[in-house]
């Protein structure tokens, strides 16, 4: 707990929480929404394609979208760190926050596996997708949905 109180009292945490500037809390919240729309939005396309929707979209070029998704994730790692630090002692022990982090980390692991095992395979479009890839696509969508739900509820359930 003393670590969480220290985190709250750091310059970063205090700035995000207490500064009257629009560049403090409001900007971190807006950035978190931008990052979400990028990483979850593109995951919707990648995930539904893997699950068999819009099968005429070639899979291999979707590999090019991963850097954009990682960019969105980086925005949210940064903005999320600021938001969590600003209210560390109340947010971080919140079971909803812990659940959200677990969903996010699992989604990130799924993204890594998809990128390395599925989309980097130059022959990905020459053979039918295996069940594992389809399942990973569905899992990615489910995990982001759960992360979004738990994240939004942190505001309401302390």
Partner 1 sequence: MQSFVEWVASTRVSWFMNDHVWVWPATEILHFFGMSLLIGTIVLLDLRMLGMAKKLPLLSLHQLVPWGVLGFAINLITGILFFAGNPYRYVHNISFVLKLLFIFLAGINVLVFYLNVFRDTESVGSGDDAPMSAKIIAAISLFLWVGIMGLGRMITFMDDTF
Q: Which residues bind partner 1 (CB under 8 A)?
A: 22, 25-26, 29-30, 33-34, 36-38, 40-45, 48, 54, 56-58, 60-62, 64-65, 68, 144-145, 148-149, 152-153, 155-156
Residue 68 beta carbon to partner 1: minimum distance, rounded to whole angstroms: 7
Q: Is the Cβ of residue 31 or residue 113 nearer to partner 1 in the bound state?
A: 31
Helix ranges restricted to H, 10-130: 11-18, 25-50, 66-86, 88-91, 95-113
Query: Taking the CB of residue 118, how many other CB atoms lie within 10 A of it?
Result: 21
Q: Are 65 and 46 in contact (CB under 8 A)?
A: yes
Residue 130 beta carbon to partner 1: minimum distance, rounded to whole angstroms: 22
- CB burial of 87-99 (b: ≥16 within 10 Å; e: otherwise) equals bbbebbebebbeb
Q: Is the Cβ of residue 6 or residue 41 nearer to partner 1 in the bound state?
A: 41
Residue 49 beta carbon to partner 1: minimum distance, rounded to whole angstroms: 9
Residue 26 beta carbon to partner 1: minimum distance, rounded to whole angstroms: 5
Q: Is the Cβ of residue 13 or residue 72 nearer to partner 1 in the bound state?
A: 72
Tokens of residue 45, six digits: 């396309």
Residue 118 beta carbon to partner 1: minimum distance, rounded to whole angstroms: 16
Dmax (CA) for the chain in angstroms is: 56
SS3 content of the chain, % helix, strand, coil (to 5): 75, 0, 25
Q: Is the Cβ of residue 109 or residue 148 nearer to partner 1 in the bound state?
A: 148
Q: Is the Cβ of residue 77 or residue 149 nearer to partner 1 in the bound state?
A: 149
């Amino acid at each position: 707990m003393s670590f969480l109180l220290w985190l709250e009292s750091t310059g970063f945490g205090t700035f995000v929480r207490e500064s009257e500037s629009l560049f403090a809390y409001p900007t971190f919240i807006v950035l978190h929404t931008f990052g979400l729309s990028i990483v979850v939005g593109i995951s919707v396309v990648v995930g539904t394609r893997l699950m068999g929707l819009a099968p005429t979209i070639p899979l291999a070029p979707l590999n090019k979208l991963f850097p954009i998704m990682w960019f969105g994730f980086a925005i949210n790692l940064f903005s999320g760190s600021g938001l969590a630090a600003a209210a560390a002692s109340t947010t971080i022990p919140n079971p909803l926050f812990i659940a959200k982090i677990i969903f996010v980390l699992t989604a990130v692991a799924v993204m890594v596996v998809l990128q390395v095992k599925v989309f980097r395979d130059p022959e990905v479009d020459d053979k039918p997708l295996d069940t594992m890839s389809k399942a990973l696509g569905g899992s990615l969508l489910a995990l982001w949905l759960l992360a979004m739900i738990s994240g939004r509820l942190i505001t309401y359930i302390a």
